Structure 1
């Protein structure tokens, strides 16, 4: 692949960025013109803490910011630009939409990324913060991609195929965990198989994705419940993160189009 490859990921909370795109970042890291921009709407300060985590004496958001920095260091390819918007965790949906969209749009307009990745309308888990961030990013993208300037060639939403979701749910039941309910907020939600337009094989760098995930220690109970923190548990995690699935939100994807193997594929 030739030419600049600027990739922007816009998410709500620390650890939203730890999976789903980290493998793609690792695959492109050696390209001289690859640039990775990461935007967090909140610092996750209102989240819960893994019961196994030691007692804390400082705000959770401060810890989670450090965990995020440590995660990308462990991964091996920190963002070229990382912005914290400092909205209140759990209240992003209450932020005036125009304000949220403009904050995100300002960063995107400065960077002019080729590919933007965010949440789809379901927020992946139904989380209101996710849904608000995704909608604001989509609107900013739509405005910027029509101005005739460079970049803004593809908009992607993180997603999980229903068939994959069913497989993972059966595995949860076998491990004695409650199955996900796609109608319950915070549970992972699937999308129809045919909506996945990009699937990246990142199995060769999955160990680096796991290295980043392991740094989010306060959120271990959320990221991988029931997976023990040992070699076997890490191996199981590696299998789970070995493929990154995304829906193509723009440009429109023709029915029956082939699934792309990379976020930048066919953009040359």
Structure 2
């Protein structure tokens, strides 16, 4: 048996919709592949658009059901899906060691070869993203040992700076609002040299889009035009990751898969 367990730790339902769907689809038929998904919150503080049948009281359960339906539509449901039930919008106020312990308990049981979470940028600078990413990094560091087959790589989902700038230019040309990376909740990129994994997901992008469409309560937040399937598939043709551990030499070629080069 080869350790091909991937553990993904995110803050909200739909954070996973963009981040790892392509990588999961590419390994869907690998008999050694195990997919573990952890959500810190139910997303109960998310936006409720006019006319959508949700209340502040019901939105969390709706979004949890949407996320589970999304993976069924994608075609590769998690082998284990954990919901920590921490407060949406308040992760940074939860004692850090409590969040670390909650994540570490699951990671310790699963011994994943690769762990994916948010980096310090949080992709959108969202405090919940930053908080769960930092807690997952710490849990990884505490659990990593030589006598384990797991914990071989810690990856942060990210957007290369040049890609972010190109997307922003295209948005401006189309008359859409542009992201200001100095503002919270606005997308931001990371320096291109920090990107060490680029996954070509074009062949499976339709599966990620099928999952995205199940997040009905948040479609207005996730896309300017949820009906434009081809635009979504183009946007989801690549997934990018920075490697937080182990440090890679600068002359190591770009990896093309989360498991590239692992034992």
Give the structure-2-normalised TM-score. Answer: 0.97
2:240 corresponds to? 245
Quote the offset at 1:174 in angstroms: 2.1
How many Å separate the matches in 2 of 1:171 and 1:70? 32
1:31 corresponds to? 30
How many Å separate the matches in 2 of 1:54 and 1:192? 38
Correspondence 1:74 to 2:69: no
2:185 corresponds to? 186
How many Å separate the matches in 1 of 2:232 and 2:251? 31
How many Å separate the matches in 2 of 1:50 and 1:261? 38
- Deviation string, structure 1 residues 50-87 (Cα, Å, up to 9, x no partner): 34x53325610010011001100100001000000000
Aligned match for 1:54, one of 49, 52, 55: 52
Instruction: Name the count of aligned residue pairs.
Output: 262
Q: What is the correspondence of 1:1-268 to structure 2 with a 5 Å cutoff?
A: 3-51=2-50, 54-56=52-54, 59-146=58-145, 148-224=147-223, 226-227=224-225, 229-230=226-227, 233-268=228-263
How many Å separate the matches in 1 of 2:45 and 2:123? 19
Larger deviation: 57-66 or 210-219?
57-66
How many Å separate the matches in 2 of 1:62 and 1:109? 27
* Partner SS, residue 100 of structure 2: helix
* Partner SS, residue 198 of structure 1: strand
How many Å separate the matches in 2 of 1:70 and 1:174? 35
How many Å separate the matches in 2 of 1:121 and 1:160? 13
What 5-or-longer segments of structure 1 have no aligned partner?
none
Does the CA-based 8 Å contact 2:91-2:131 persist in structure 1? yes
- Deviation string, structure 1 residues 218-255 (Cα, Å, up to 9, x no partner): 1112211x22x33xx11000000110000000000112
What 5-or-longer segments of structure 2 have no aligned partner?
none
Quote the offset at 1:172 in angstroms: 1.3
Quote the offset at 1:146 in angstroms: 2.9
When the two chains are superposed, the root-mean-square deviation of aligned CA atoms in Å is: 1.2
Does the CA-based 8 Å contact 1:50-1:220 persist in structure 2? no
How many Å separate the matches in 2 of 1:26 and 1:3? 18
- Deviation string, structure 1 residues 170-222 (Cα, Å, up to 9, x no partner): 12112221110111111111000110000000100000000001111111122
* Partner SS, residue 76 of structure 2: coil
